[in-house]
Structure 1
Amino acid sequence: MKSLYILLAFIIAATLANAQDKKYLKTMESSIPAIFQAENTDALDATANKFDRIGQAESDQWEPYYYSSLSYVFKAFKIDDLQAKDQVLDQALVALGKAATLSENNSEIIALQGFINMIKIGVDPGTRGQTLSPKIMADFSKALKLDPNNPRANLFMGQMLFGTAQFFGTGVGDACALVDKSLALFESEKPESTIAPSWGLYSANQYKQQCESALTKAESQE
């Protein structure tokens, strides 16, 4: 009889856990699209706050804090004031740090960290270029080592190399090759779950156009 009670307790616990997992996935699935549909900074503040609340309720899940961070990143793109943009990017790093404590050596988290710092260079290129660039390259290299087929990591590395090449007036061939690779990876990407990161294709297509323009210009000057 005791064994039967133990078995029933196990079944009930497993059923409750499965129901909780389904609720979490459903909440995340319905919340993630709002990031990409947001038309203003207030809407992105709302998504960031919502993901923070989900993260507090689901204390062992890294995805809510990842998407909270991404909300702040998207918000930063909508801000012109450099000081305000920098503060929002700092919020993005704080949220991402919470995700990192829950999932170490995560290619997606490390790639996004490098991407955020890459945007921060743009706030003050003269001061931050030399100090942040090595850290960013290290993040992208680590993200690619952890997952060579991560389309976002390939794209971000391509963007970094493209910007560096443009700054120093060197060739963009290597950068554009990574952009092309990211596009192929986006097309074949099969996310691990319905809430795994899968964004970035729009940016990859934009950089593809920049690459084509830069390469055409370089050929005309030869």
Structure 2
Amino acid sequence: MKKYLLSFALILCSLTSFAQTTYEKIMTEKIAKLEACKTPEEFQTLANDFQRISEKEKDKWQPLYYAAFSFIQKGRVQMREGKMQELDITADQAMKYLTSAESLADNAEIHLLKKMAYSLRMMVNPAQRYMTDGAKASTELTAAEKLDPDNPRIALIKAEDMYFTPEQYGGSKTKGLEMFKLALEKFNAYKPKTALDPNWGKSEAEYFISQPVK
């Protein structure tokens, strides 16, 4: 009987290990695609893929996080294309996944994406929404920084804010460039907790550092 119990336990462990390995392989493949996506449609497709994974892996926050991140990246492309009136819907979709992710984990990465989602909403009408969505974005950034002050993505987003904010509102391309350099230093020293935890942003910091200040 002990032999049968041991065999059953070994089989169960093998099946669990296989399922975990399959999940990690699929997630790794999808995460890698984030770098290649260029259009809102490509990011939408990837968000749908992460949603399907989250429906199977109900106890894991990362698929929900990456679904939200895909929507935020979609929104950033829409913003560059001048499709400002579409940002509310895109930000709301991201926030839906972030709310679900936050019910499973409370970490700096989730708060940072919430900051980015509120920032997208603010960009629809910055003058009107600075005191509402802008304030919420600031609150989420502060929460993220308290949880993980050495997180390089926090430094990256702060650098972006400084770089793109007009000087009359406190921004500075010169200061932003220095902050991108600080972010890159943090990227070089920071190690994600797991292979599936967020690890994006370093190439963006490198890109801005390589650009001449105008």
TM-score by length of 2: 0.86
Separation in 1 of the partners of 2:168 and 2:23? 45
- Matched with 1:154 is 155
Are 1:144 and 2:145 counterparts?
A: yes
Structural RMSD (CA): 2.4
Matched to 1:82, the amino acid is: M
* Residues 189/170 of structure 1: CA separation in 2 closer, same or farther (3 Å cut): closer
Are 1:58 and 2:60 counterparts?
A: no
- Matched with 1:213 is 213
- Matched with 2:18 is 19
Are 1:135 and 2:136 counterparts?
A: yes
- Paired residues in the alignment total 211
Is contact 2:177–2:209 with CA below 8 Å preserved after alignment? yes
Question: Structure 2 residue aligned with 1:88, among 62, 77, 90?
Answer: 90
- Matched with 1:102 is 104
Separation in 2 of the partners of 1:115 and 1:202? 18
Is contact 2:163–2:171 with CA below 8 Å preserved after alignment? no
* Residues 6/178 of structure 1: CA separation in 2 closer, same or farther (3 Å cut): farther
Q: CA deviation at 1:33?
A: 1.9
- Matched with 1:220 is none
* Residues 8/157 of structure 1: CA separation in 2 closer, same or farther (3 Å cut): same
Separation in 2 of the partners of 1:192 and 1:169? 35
- Matched with 1:8 is 7
Are 1:77 and 2:76 counterparts?
A: yes
Separation in 1 of the partners of 2:179 and 2:142? 13
**SS of match in other structure, 1:144:** helix
Q: CA deviation at 1:63?
A: 1.0
Q: CA deviation at 1:168?
A: 2.1
Of Structure 1 and Structure 2, which has the larger fraction of its residues in helix?
A: 1
TM-score by length of 1: 0.83
Matched to 2:124, the amino acid is: V
- Matched with 1:30 is 29
Cα deviation code 1:69-92 (max 9, x no counterpart): 111112112223212122112111
Matched to 2:98, the amino acid is: L
Structure 2 unaligned segments of length 5 or more: list them.
none
Is contact 2:87–2:120 with CA below 8 Å preserved after alignment? no
Separation in 2 of the partners of 1:101 and 1:143? 16
- Matched with 2:187 is 186
Runs (4+) of structure 1 exceeding 4 A deviation are 161-165, 169-177
**SS of match in other structure, 1:72:** helix
Separation in 2 of the partners of 1:93 and 1:16? 34
Is contact 1:69–1:95 with CA below 8 Å preserved after alignment? yes
